[in-house]
Structures are given as structure tokens and as C-alpha cells.
Amino acid sequence: MAIMDWGESPFGTAHIYELRAGKYFAKVSDFGATLVDFGSDDIGSVVLGSDDLSFYLGKCGSIGATIGRFANRIANGRFTLDGKDYQLNCNESPTVHLHGGNVGFEKRLWTAVPDSDYAVTLRYISPDGEENYPGALSVMLRYELRADGTLMLHYMASTDAPTILNLTNHSYFNLGCENILGCEVTIPADRFVETGAGSIPTGKLADVSGTVMDLRGGVVVGERMGDDYLKPTFGYDHCFVLGDDRTSDLHLAATVKSPDGVKLECFTDQPGVQLYCGCQLANSPLVGRTGLLKQYAALCLETQVFPDAPNQPAFPSCVLRPGEVFDTTTVYRLSR
């Protein structure tokens, strides 16, 4: 495994770990436990990113990063746990807490240990009160690349006090395309998390049948972007229901196919997957390895518990207690 110093972050020197398995490659950084690159020799890179650390030090839309403590949104940044109220930072708007707050896991320096040429384990200890979350949290993430094009992300975490936790990866997949409008997305979900103002869940898990949210048969992304239901979010930025809780088995969460036959499959044991189509990249000043980032340049498949779960009793629980182990796996598989 090739390891190189990447530059100085606010918390120390960041590094890049280059994974290789057959024709497939990945680059992982200890800054934000970030997937900097992923692809193959014949297909090329299939994710947005940059070889320049400064790209990630700024407001890069969480590209490639590990998100925590809570991926997605929490209404008013508030939740109650065991009768105690907690107020988190509202960093997306005055009423929305997003992706862990002002300085989430994506901006922290993790400790990395290479396991082999094709795997690296990263760890981070989040102290009690960080971003106003309760409990000291110990997190581990192992990236493993395999010669069949599989990139496995295995998360584990434990806490010394009751807390909430919802981890995900925020890679933007473009499958080597200029944008993803011509890509076909399939998500085998018959329900989705209905949202209202600020993309906060209404509490309803709505039926996808007969709606723009029905992606079970495969849909070309660009054919639906003008639908009235998607206008408030400028496209897909919604959580699809894969199950009513975590499972012990991996199940297919989504399949994306490019016009020239590149395929990405996503598997998870999580109950939901957030499809985000890069709707807010329209005014991005960032320049990545493919040039200036533009709206719909790529999409995210964020496996997770549902947004605002701490405030929605009917949603799967996101509570982690002492003695319990948060243990979840997500797999991305690339092929042609």
C-alpha cells in the first residue's frame, strides 16, 4: 500500500492511503475518513473529488466523507433522550441540523492503520459534548477493496453514555460521466420518507406507487427532474425505505447504470438509502479532478437510518447505549 503525506489539516497532518485489488483502485484519507477516489484501470475514476487537500478543507458538500454523528437532518437541532433535552448546532438553516453540525466527522482527523494493500482501518474518538452530542463515542471504519470491484465499508461504534448515531458515506458517484442526468437509477423501495419544509420528515412513510418516487423499475434521472414534487429540492434528495429496521443481512439498496454500460450497485443492512442528485452543486466554486463542479454532476447513495429519527417514534431507532455495539456494513460494487 502506498501512503503519502497529504498536507496540514486543522488537527494535524493528513495522509492518503492507496488501495489496490486487481484492476480496481481506491484512495482513502484519514481526514474525514474520506473516500478520495474509486475506480478501475479500464473505467477510470467514478467519484467526484480532488487530489488537493484544500478542496476538502473548505465547503465541499461533504464529498467522499464519513458523516456523523448523525447523517441527514434533525428538526430544530433538538431531540430528547431518556427525558433529557439536547440542543445541537443548526448549521444548514436556523431550524435544521445537518450531517453532524458545524464540525462533524468529515472535518476531523482520524487515526488510520493499513491492514494490507487492499484495506485500511480508521478510528475516531468523539468526546462527550462534541457538537453538543451526549456520550464519548468510539468509532471504527474499515475500507476493504476487492478484485471483483467491491468496496466494503464496515462501521462499528460504542459509547459510554446513551447517544444517537447515524453514520454514512457521502461519496458523489458520476460513473465517469459529465453528469448523471442520463444515468438510470433503480431503488427497490415501495415507500419513501415524506418530507415538508426544510426537507424535514412529516412522519409519514409514503407509498411510491404512481409517483415520481417510484424507482423500482429503473428511471433515467433527467427524465424526472422537472416534476412538481421535486421542485422544492431541485431534484432527488429523499430517503427511500428499504426495511423497517436494520437487518443482519446485506440487501440491494440501489443500482445505477451509465449510458455506456458502467454499473454501480449498493448493498446495505441499513433500513434506508438517501438518493441525492447533486442538486445544490449549481453554484459551487469548487474545482475537482473533472473540473468545475456543476449541478447534477454526480449522485450520492447514503445508506442510513431515516432523517430526524430521534424525533420520529415510528422510525427505526438511532439510539446507542453503553454495552451495545453499532455494527453496520455498506458495499459499493463497480462493474461494466
By residue range, what is the domain housing residue 265?
2-335
Q: Phi and psi for 256 in degrees, rounded to 5?
A: -125, 130
Q: Are 173 and 182 in contact (CB under 8 A)?
A: no
Q: Is 170 a catalytic residue?
A: yes
Residues 6+ apart with CB under 8 A from 18: 1, 2, 3, 4, 25, 26, 27
Q: Phi and psi for 312 in degrees, rounded to 5?
A: -125, 95
> Domain count of the chain?
1
Residue pLDDT, tens place only, 110-163: 999 999 999 999 999 999 999 999 999 999 999 999 999 999 999 999 999 999
CATH code for the domain in which residue 168 is found: 2.70.98.10
| Nearest partner of 309 among 268, 254, 272, judged by Cα | 272
The more confidently predicted of residues 222 and 286 is 222
Residue 19 above 80 pLDDT? yes
Q: Is 99 a catalytic residue?
A: no
Give me the catalytic one of 15, 97, 170, 238.
170
Distance of CA 272 to the CA centre of its chain: 11
Could you tell me the three cell numbers for 310? 430521534
Give the angle subtended at the CA of 331 by the CAs of 328 and 332, to the nearest 5°.
Answer: 150
Could you tell me the three cell numbers for 329? 456494513
Average pLDDT (28-32) is 98
Residues 6+ apart with CB under 8 A from 302: 67, 71, 72, 168, 169, 170, 273, 274, 276
CA dihedral 171, 222, 198, 35 (to 10 degrees): 0
| Nearest partner of 198 among 293, 308, 276, judged by Cα | 308
Residue pLDDT, tens place only, 38-81: 999 999 999 999 999 999 998 887 999 999 999 999 999 999 99
Give me the catalytic one of 131, 184, 265, 302.
302
Per-residue confidence (pLDDT) for residue 287, from 0 to 100: 85
Q: How confident is the model at residue 223 (pLDDT cuts 50, 70, 90)?
A: very high
Could you tell me the three cell numbers for 208? 411510491
